[in-house]
Amino acid sequence: MGFWQVFFFMLLYVGDRNRLNKLIRKAGSIISSCPSSVEEILEQRVMGKMRSVQSREDQPLYSMFTTSGWSQRLLLPRCTTERFRSAKPQEYKVRLEKRTEMMKEPLGHSRQAEFIKLMEEEAEKRAKLQGTSGGFTKDKTLGSILNLEMVKDISAEEIGKLWMQYYSNKDTISAVIPGATFELIFNRTKSCPTFLYALPRQEGYEFFVGQWAGHELHFTSLINVQTAGESAPSQLILYHYTELLKDKGVVLMTAEMDDKFINVHQAQCLANQVQVFYGSERRSTFQLVENFNHKPADFKYMSMIAELEQSGIGLTS
């Protein structure tokens, strides 16, 4: 079975998969070694194809795949800055000009300028304390980023605009979350602190495990969890600051990531999925999270991917 046939199975509707599974189970009653489901067939075919590609240097796809020296996970070709510049010079130029314009954008009245200046000063202090180790910041608070006294008399809408403008030219992600939405999400994390997320790739998906710890959400790739267990290092952390929740009705979010494994676009994709699965009003959507935490035998990763694609987030990165 080729790659296109393998990934055709991933696009099957639920009804089609159910019919195929019935046929497989019927065949299994006759042939004892028959797989139990179409998902199992998919997994066997994918792994078989990958092993075939990696074992033969004369295979046309052999050079497309490399292995991370740190985690031994499979990596697809990455579009680095230099390769992107040479492959799409016009698009690279447009993006570079847009980024430059954003950095030169006037801040407006003096309150905005003062706000940004103070945040820059706090960022410099954190960088000096953190040093050059590239690790994540410990015990990070909103007060370490901005002067809470300064924003006391500013509206939630204005705080949100300032927050997003400040992070618009940083190599990270940010968000302003309505208080009611965050409370729904956070209340659900108390009973369901862990979930599996799918990061779209050119050929399928890479899976990440998200684990809540207080108001922080830690992500690490599934392969790291499988190999290192609880000691698997975080590759992305989302920080949710609730200091303004009571008075302003908003929660501010930003992130830190290990750029050796994940970029800003991918971090944004994972962050958006938190809203999809934990913040959804559809009972069937959050049921996936509950099954993962309390009924793992009932959790179907294909149902999770179908929900992701239906939301519009499941686009190739």
pLDDT tens track for 53-89: 666 666 555 555 555 444 445 554 444 455 566 667 7
CA dist 205 and 261 (Å) reads 15
CA dist 27 and 292 (Å) reads 29
Which regions of the chain are under pLDDT 70?
1-87, 98-139, 314-317
Hey, what are 105's tokens? 């954008």
Classify 233 as helix, strand or coil: coil
φ, ψ for residue 252, nearest 5 deg: -95, 140
Which pLDDT value is given to residue 228?
A: 84
Over the stretch 181-237, which tens digit does the pLDDT of each residue have? 999 999 999 999 999 999 988 878 899 999 999 999 999 999 988 888 878 899 999
Hey, what are 45's tokens? 């075919």
Which pLDDT value is given to residue 290?
A: 96
CA dist 302 and 209 (Å) reads 16
Give the sign of the dihedral formed by CA 171, CA 177, CA 181, CA 187.
Answer: positive
Which pLDDT value is given to residue 247?
A: 92
Q: Which helix (H) or strand (E) holds 161?
A: helix 156-167
Which pLDDT value is given to residue 273?
A: 95
Classify 1 as helix, strand or coil: coil
Q: Cα 301 to chain center, whole Å?
A: 16
Which pLDDT value is given to residue 123?
A: 54
Q: Terminal CA-to-CA distance of the chain, rounded, Å?
A: 25
